[in-house]
Structure 1
C-alpha cells in the first residue's frame, strides 16, 4: 500500500528538556488541540507560530511523555513502543464499551423488536467485513456479486472472489479459535486461510517471507518504511504472542491495558512487522477481531472496520507512518482506530434499524398477502428467519429438529419455499442446502405470485 509522505518531527529527548524555553507554553498547549485532535508534527507545525514551532512541539511532547505507557514491544531500532490515552481517546473508549456491551437489539435502538437475538444478521454482516477487507487490499469484485457468491456458496471465479471467500473463512476461524492462546502457528494459520489460492506478490500461504525486498513507498515513490529483517520475524512474533497472552486485566496488581487498545496494538504490530509477502493487512485485522472476541466483545462480530478503512486509506496509512516517524508513539494509530470503531458501530446501528424495519414489513406481508394462504405455519416461520438473516443456510436436519417433524416433512416445507422462489437450494456433495436470498423482501412484494393447489401442502405457480 502506498502511503503519504510524512516529515519526521524534531526528536524529543526527555533528558535534555530546557524548561526555561518550553515552560511558558505549558498553560496554552496540551497533549491534544482544543478539539481533542492528537496532532503529528506534520500538521502541528502549521498551527503554531513558525518561529516557535519546535519549542512548542517539545512542550507538547513533554506533556505526552509524562502520560506515556511503555510496552514490552520493541521497534526494529530497539526502542520501546509507547502510547498514552488523552481525554478524547478515553471518551471514545467509554462510548465503545457502552455500545459493545449491549445486544444487537439495543444497538438498533427502539425500532428493533425485543425478540431480535444476538445472531441477528450475523452471516450478512460477516460477509460485509469479508468483502470490504478484500476491497481494501485491491479486490475489484462488486459488493453485489461478492455477496451473492457467499450466499450461494458457489466457487470463486477469479482471484478477487477467492480473496473475499478467504476473508469470510478467516473471520469464521477467528471466532472458532477465540479461546486459544496466540502462537506462531495460529498467526500462520490466519495467513494461510487469508491467502490460499492467491498469487499476489508471490505469496506462499502460511509461510513467513524469506527476503527483505519488502518496503512501503510514499506518494513520491520514496521508501517511507521498511519492516524488520525476515531473520528476526520468528523471534519478534514470539514476543508479540507473549504480549497477547499476558494478563493485562489489572487484577492482582498486574498492568492494565484496555482490551480495545490491546486489540488495536496487535493490529498495528502485524502491519509493522510485515511478516508475509502479502496478506499482512487481512491477517492483522483478523487478529484484531480474534482478540475482541477473546475478551467477550461479541458485538464486534457484526462491526465492519474494513469498510471504513477502505473509505479512508490515506488516514489509515498516515496513522501507521505517524507512529513510525514519531518515536514509536502508538497513540496516533490508536486514536485513528477508535474513531473508526465508533463510526462502524454507528453504521451498524443504521443498518440494523433498516433491516429491522424490513423484517416488520415481512411480518405484515405474510399476514396480508397471498402468501398468508400459500404457506403453512412452519414455512412462514422459516421465511421470517430468512428475512432476519439474509444468506442464512437451512438444512433438512435443522428444520426437522427445530419443529419436531420428520425429515421428509421438513424437506417438503423447504422445497415448497424453493418452488415459490422464496428460497434457493444448492448442493454440498450429496446434501441439499436451502438459502434465504438477500432480496427476500423484494420477492415477497412481487404482485404476481403462486396460488395454493387443491392438494394440501402442495405449492404451484400461477400460469
Structure 2
C-alpha cells in the first residue's frame, strides 16, 4: 500500500516571490469539487489555471494550516495532531447530527418499540462479525448469528473473536454513561481478546518494550506504521482519556462530538497500545464516545460492515493523516462517510422491512386463503410480522379471542405445523414465537399461492 509523502510546504514557501504568493492565497483547503485531497490524489489532478501541481498543493496546505485546530494529543515525536473543518466536512457532521442523535423514526410499523431489542441485537451481531472479519476472523455471518442467538459456545477462533466483540459491544452500551479511564480501556481489550491471543496473559495488558509491534500491509509485508514506544503508553492513555472525557470545553476549544469520537478511534489505532486487538478496541471506543455524547442511533448501526467494504481507504486515511503534518482531517472525512453510509443502510433496511410488512398484511387481509387461516390466526401472523420474536401462549390467545382452550391450542399448533411459528419453553409452560424471518416465509407462501 504505497502512500507518497507530500512535499515540504516550508521549503516551497521559501522559493516563492510576492506576486506568486498573492495568486496562491486565493486557493482554499479543498479542490473545486469539494474534495480534501491528499498529495497522492492532487499530483494526478489538473491544477487550477496558472499553477503548477506543487504550487497548488502548497496553497491548499497553507490554507489548511491557517484554519486548523490544534489538539492536546501528540505523535511519537512530540508534535501535535490537528484537523480542519472545510464546509463539506461540516455538512457531513450536520447530517449525522440530524440523523444520528434521535431514535429510529419512521411512519411505518417496522420501528415500533417492540422492535428495539431485536434491532439492537442484530446490529451488535453485525458489528461483532464485521469487526472480527476485518481482523482476520474466519467464520460466516450465519454461524455467528446462530451462535449468539442460541447461546452456544464458539467452535473456532473466528467464532470466539465474534463472541468477544459482541460482549465488548454490550460492555460499551453498559458503560456509555461512565467516564473513560485507562482501566476501562484495559477491561474492554480483555473482553475483545480473551481466548484469542498467542500470549493469553497479554489480554487486558499494555504491550511491553520487548513486544515488537509494527503495522504491516498483509499483502506484501510493507511496514506501514511503527507505534510509539511502550514506556510512553500509560501517559498517552491518560492524555487520551482526558480528551475523551472533556465534553464541556470553553467555546474557543469546542470540538464537535462526532469529531471527538473519530479522533479517539484514530488515536487507539495510532498508539497501538496492545499486541493485538487494537482495531477492534478502537472501533468499540468510537461507539462508547458516540453513545456517551447522546448519538443514540449508533446502537443500531455497524461501522465495521462499511469499513470492510473499503479496507484500503480506511488504511490510507490513517497513513495520510500521519504523513501530512498529523492532519486528522483525512481520517475525519473517511469516518463521517462511513457513519453516514451505516445510517443510510439502517434507513433503507427499515424502509424495506416496512414494505415487506405492508405487502404481507395486505395479502393476509385481502386473500381468502382457501380457509387456511381463520381471523384469529391472521391476527397472530400480523402481530408477528410487525414484531418478530413476539410470543403468544395458548391461554393468552384463548382469552383474547374468547375461545376454548382446545380451539386456541389448535390455532397455534396449526401455525406451528405450517412453519410460521416456533415453540419455546418459557418457565414451566410453552410459548409460540414469531420467527425473525416471518415476513419472508409469508411472502414465500404468497408466491406459492399465486
Interval of TM-score (by shorter of Structure 1 and Structure 2): 0.7 to 0.9
Q: Structure 1 stretch 57-66 or stretch 73-82: which is displaced more?
A: 57-66
**1:375 Cα deviation from its structure 2 partner:** 3.8
Provide the residue aligned with 2:4 in structure 1: 7
Name the CA distance, whole Å, in 2 between partners of 1:413 and 1:286: 47
Name the CA distance, whole Å, in 2 between partners of 1:268 and 1:122: 25
Provide the residue aligned with 1:214 in structure 2: 213
Contact 2:189 2:281 in 1 (8 A): yes
**1:138 Cα deviation from its structure 2 partner:** 1.6
**1:152 Cα deviation from its structure 2 partner:** 2.5
SS of the residue aligned with 1:199? coil
Name the CA distance, whole Å, in 1 between partners of 2:435 and 2:128: 18
Distance verdict in 2 for CA 1:144–1:46, change over 3 Å: same
Does residue 78 of structure 2 align to residue 75 of structure 1? no
Contact 1:195 1:203 in 2 (8 A): no
Gaps of 5+ in 2: none
Name the CA distance, whole Å, in 1 between partners of 2:191 and 2:412: 34
Distance verdict in 2 for CA 1:56–1:373, change over 3 Å: closer
Name the CA distance, whole Å, in 2 between partners of 1:263 and 1:14: 34
Name the CA distance, whole Å, in 2 between partners of 1:32 and 1:418: 60
**1:293 Cα deviation from its structure 2 partner:** 0.7
Provide the residue aligned with 1:150 in structure 2: 148
**1:438 Cα deviation from its structure 2 partner:** 3.4
| 1:130-154 superposed Cα distances (whole Å, 9 cap, x missing partner) | 2211121122322222223223232
Distance verdict in 2 for CA 1:428–1:162, change over 3 Å: farther
Contact 1:212 1:229 in 2 (8 A): no
Distance verdict in 2 for CA 1:201–1:85, change over 3 Å: farther
Provide the residue aligned with 1:224 in structure 2: 224
**1:317 Cα deviation from its structure 2 partner:** 0.3
| 1:334-365 superposed Cα distances (whole Å, 9 cap, x missing partner) | 01111111111221111111111223344446
Q: Structure 1 stretch 145-154 or stretch 83-92: which is displaced more?
A: 145-154
Name the CA distance, whole Å, in 2 between partners of 1:97 and 1:290: 16
| 1:149-178 superposed Cα distances (whole Å, 9 cap, x missing partner) | 223232222111121122222112111111
Name the CA distance, whole Å, in 1 between partners of 2:433 and 2:270: 41
Provide the residue aligned with 1:461 in structure 2: none
What is the CA RMSD across the aligned residues, in angstroms?
3.6
| 1:338-396 superposed Cα distances (whole Å, 9 cap, x missing partner) | 1111111221111111111223344446555544456496x557624543xxxx58699
Name the CA distance, whole Å, in 2 between partners of 1:321 and 1:414: 62
TM norm structure 2 = 0.83
TM norm structure 1 = 0.80
Provide the residue aligned with 2:353 in structure 1: 355
Contact 2:306 2:342 in 1 (8 A): yes
Q: Structure 1 stretch 51-60 or stretch 333-342: which is displaced more?
A: 51-60
Give the number of aligned pairs.
425
Contact 2:321 2:330 in 1 (8 A): yes
Provide the residue aligned with 2:436 in structure 1: 438
Name the CA distance, whole Å, in 1 between partners of 2:390 and 2:168: 19
Contact 1:393 1:433 in 2 (8 A): no
Within 5 Å, which residues of 2 pair with 1:129-144?
Answer: 129-144=127-142
Distance verdict in 2 for CA 1:366–1:206, change over 3 Å: farther
SS of the residue aligned with 1:71? strand
Distance verdict in 2 for CA 1:161–1:90, change over 3 Å: same
